[in-house]
């Protein structure tokens, strides 16, 4: 038997994603359209990913101009770019080894950028101190999460170690836990109360793990993916007290902190922890994740994220530094994107008017889309959509007819995957099934991204409305 055939049992335990089934059909439909096959639509609208640029919203000019000048420094001499663009590019290049973005950087990232991230965190958190030594830049937040999980999880322990994770939750995190030999311990967000996290449910999840695994961490996403909820200060305080009492490491995915709707306010877990004071502020161990893939910069392809560690033992920090050293450094362009995200143009800068206009254009589109999606879906029989308070996605519930569920079972599909496949085939819209992210037994959902131009979202909603009305009529 070859080495490749001797796959780790941990990897084998990871189930294929429902997306793969839909992605294969999406590829075939696009091929059929290119070959001239007649369908009720001329193009497929893919709203399955939280990729702002793929959806048709434009990159921020300031970000791309600085990156272009860093890649091709001759542009710094050009009169094409504003003076602050050229000054930023010059500063960033001075901080790169050899004055080139093609050079390696320190393991944790370019020193000056790490320093500026710490200053950004301090500003964001109302003056709560942040040490650069506690920050590691990485190729995206999921890479950071995976590395911290490697430190936390012990695949040889008996019982196995586990992580308490939300339902619904992004599937990548759960896959990472399982691939490392860990156990996913689910806790359910309360859909009827706007997908809020409740400590009573955390306790139930912890109790359910007895005899199966030893939970060592709690994972939270705020704002939520895929449900779009934003936690209140009180909810976060309850979580912090819980992890302190149960001696759990707190993992906080906060990558959507810039995307807020419905008059929501983002407060970081680190700030809430600091404001609670000793002994909690001195003892609760926390890892907070952020990324240049999300927010208004949305540079997904550049792969830039960071993790800040709070109250982690110095001995463990040495192991974390070693773990992050295995891949040398994060992509330099991703590091530069982080710097541009946390230090955008300010009023009075030459680039500020255009930057402000572009950000407000995106913000207006997203606020419009968040409101319209809920309005339209809640007007359709068989849909129930909670308010979208933050993030890139909406996660409405589907009340499918018994006949639809029966047909799905006959085809060997999960009911919500069956719905998504029919929507793709008949309306040319790709959304993802809730089963990809976890959901209560007997419930069905879909997830799709609202980060798109208003006209695109209106067309998506028009197609969903037409398809859903016919679907429910045929199968009720």
How does DSSP classify residue 232?
A: -
Report the pLDDT averaged over residues 363-382.
96
DSSP three-state, residue 187: strand
Closest C-alpha among 356, 360, 344, 347 to residue 85: 344
Closest C-alpha among 154, 221, 231, 272 to residue 392: 221
Report the pLDDT averaged over residues 217-221.
98
Report the pLDDT averaged over residues 193-199.
96
Q: What is the distance between the alpha carbons of residues 345 and 357, in angstroms, rounded to a whole number?
A: 12
Which class in CATH covers the domain with range 9-57+355-475? Answer: alpha beta
Could you tell me if 107 and 325 are in contact, meaning their C-beta atoms sit under 8 angstroms apart? yes
Q: What stretches of 170-267 show up as alpha helix (H) in DSSP? A: 171-179, 199-208, 233-246
- pLDDT for position 444: 98
Percent of the residues in the chain that have a pLDDT greater than 70, as a whole number = 96
Distance of alpha carbon 24 from the chain centroid:
23
Percent of the residues in the chain that have a pLDDT greater than 90, as a whole number = 85
Who has greater pLDDT, 326 or 336? Answer: 336
pLDDT tens readout for residues 260-297: 997 889 999 999 999 999 999 999 999 999 999 988 99
| CB crowding 5-33: b at 16 or more within 10 Å, else e | eeeeeeeeeeeebbbebbbeebeebeeeb
- Give the alpha-carbon dihedral of 45, 51, 56, 61, to 10 degrees: 180
Flag whether pLDDT at 476 surpasses 90. no
Report the pLDDT averaged over residues 126-152.
94
Q: CA-CA distances (angstroms) from residue 33 to 17, 26, 299, 428, 456?
A: 25, 11, 29, 11, 19
- pLDDT for position 104: 93
pLDDT tens readout for residues 67-116: 999 999 999 998 999 999 999 999 999 999 999 999 999 989 999 999 99
User: What's the chain's Rg over C-alpha atoms?
Assistant: 23
- pLDDT for position 326: 74
Whose tokens are 């449910």? That residue is: 201
Report the pLDDT averaged over residues 195-201.
97
- pLDDT for position 9: 56
Q: What is the distance between the alpha carbons of residues 310 and 315, in angstroms, rounded to a whole number?
A: 14
Whose tokens are 């040495």? That residue is: 318
Residue extents of the structural domains in the chain: 9-57+355-475, 61-103, 104-342
- pLDDT for position 325: 76
- Residue 238 burial class via C-beta count within 10 angstroms: exposed 0-12, middle 13-18, buried 19 and up: middle
Average pLDDT of the chain, as a whole number: 93
List the structure tokens of 310.
Answer: 């709070």
Query: Which of 225-234, 321-330, 341-350, 406-415 bottoms out in mean pLDDT, i.e. has the lowest?
Result: 321-330
Q: What is the distance between the alpha carbons of residues 39 and 322, in angstroms, rounded to a whole number?
A: 54
Report the pLDDT averaged over residues 333-358.
98
Report the pLDDT averaged over residues 349-376.
96
List the structure tokens of 197.
Answer: 């996290």
- pLDDT for position 16: 56
Q: What is the distance between the alpha carbons of residues 195 and 385, in angstroms, rounded to a whole number?
A: 11
Flag whether pLDDT at 15 surpasses 70. no
Report the pLDDT averaged over residues 244-256.
97
Q: What stretches of 381-453 show up as alpha helix (H) in DSSP? A: 402-410, 415-427
Strand pairing class (383-384; 429-430): unpaired
List the structure tokens of 14.
Answer: 């990871």
Distance of alpha carbon 7 from the chain centroid:
28
Report the pLDDT averaged over residues 415-429.
97
Could you tell me if 166 and 391 are in contact, meaning their C-beta atoms sit under 8 angstroms apart? no
Those residues whose C-beta lies under 8 Å from the C-beta of residue 80, and which sit 6 or more positions away, are: none
Strand partners of residue 444: 398
Indicate the fold that domain 104-342 takes in CATH.
3.40.640
List the structure tokens of 301.
Answer: 């392809």
Could you tell me if 330 and 303 are in contact, meaning their C-beta atoms sit under 8 angstroms apart? yes
- pLDDT for position 18: 76
pLDDT band (50, 70, 90) for residue 426: very high
pLDDT band (50, 70, 90) for residue 4: very low
Flag whether pLDDT at 162 surpasses 60. yes
List the structure tokens of 109.
Answer: 């990232």
Flag whether pLDDT at 178 surpasses 60. yes
- pLDDT for position 156: 84
Q: What is the distance between the alpha carbons of residues 68 and 30, in angstroms, rounded to a whole number?
A: 32
Architecture in CATH of 61-103: Orthogonal Bundle (1.10)
DSSP three-state, residue 474: helix
Q: What is the distance between the alpha carbons of residues 454 and 474, in angstroms, rounded to a whole number?
A: 30
Report the pLDDT averaged over residues 156-177.
93
Who has greater pLDDT, 393 or 57? Answer: 393
Strand partners of residue 449: 393
Report the pLDDT averaged over residues 18-47.
93
């Amino acid at each position: 038997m070859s080495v490749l055939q001797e796959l780790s049992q941990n990897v084998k335990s990871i189930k294929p994603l429902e997306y793969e089934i839909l992605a294969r059909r999406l590829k075939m439909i696009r091929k059929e359209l290119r070959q001239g096959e007649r369908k009720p639509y001329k193009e497929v609208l893919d709203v399955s990913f939280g990729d702002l640029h793929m959806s048709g919203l434009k990159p921020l000019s300031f970000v791309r101009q600085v990156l272009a000048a860093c890649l091709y420094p001759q542009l710094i001499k050009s009169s094409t770019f504003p003076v602050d663009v050229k000054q930023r590019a010059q500063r960033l290049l001075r901080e790169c080894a050899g004055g080139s973005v093609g050079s390696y950087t320190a393991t944790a990232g370019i020193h000056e950028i790490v320093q500026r991230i710490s200053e950004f965190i301090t500003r964001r958190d109302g003056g709560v101190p942040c040490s650069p030594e506690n920050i590691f830049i990485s190729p995206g937040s999921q890479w950071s999460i995976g590395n911290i999980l490697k430190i936390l999880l012990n695949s040889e322990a008996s019982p196995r170690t586990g992580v308490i994770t939300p339902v619904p939750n992004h599937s990548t995190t759960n896959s990472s836990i399982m691939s490392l030999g860990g156990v996913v311990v689910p806790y359910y967000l309360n859909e009827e109360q706007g997908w809020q996290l409740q400590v009573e449910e955390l306790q139930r999840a912890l109790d359910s793990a007895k005899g199966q695994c030893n939970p060592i961490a709690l994972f939270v996403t705020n704002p939520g993916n895929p449900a779009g909820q934003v936690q209140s200060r009180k909810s976060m305080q309850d979580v912090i007290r819980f992890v302190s009492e149960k001696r759990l490491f707190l993992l906080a995915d906060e990558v959507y902190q810039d995307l807020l709707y419905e008059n929501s306010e983002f407060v970081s877990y680190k700030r809430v922890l600091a404001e609670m004071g000793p002994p909690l502020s001195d003892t609760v161990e926390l890892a907070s994740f952020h990324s240049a893939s999300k927010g208004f910069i949305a540079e997904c392809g550049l792969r830039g994220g960071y993790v800040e560690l709070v109250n982690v033992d110095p001995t463990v920090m040495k192991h974390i530094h070693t773990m992050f050293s295995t891949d040398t450094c994060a992509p330099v362009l991703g590091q530069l994107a982080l710097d541009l995200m946390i230090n955008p143009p300010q009023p009075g800068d030459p680039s500020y008017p255009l930057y402000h206009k572009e950000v407000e254009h995106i913000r207006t589109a997203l606020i419009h889309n968040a409101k319209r999606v809920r309005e339209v879906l809640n007007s359709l029989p068989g849909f129930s959509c909670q308010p979208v308070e933050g993030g890139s996605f909406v996660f409405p519930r589907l009340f499918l007819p018994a006949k639809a569920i029966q047909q799905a079972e006959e085809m060997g599909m999960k009911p919500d995957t069956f719905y998504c496949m029919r929507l793709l085939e008949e309306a040319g819209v790709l959304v993802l099934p809730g089963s990809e992210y976890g959901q209560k037994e007997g419930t069905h959902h879909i997830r799709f991204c609202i980060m798109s131009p208003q006209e695109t979202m209106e067309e998506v909603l028009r197609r969903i409305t037409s398809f859903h009305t016919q679907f429910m009529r045929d199968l009720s």
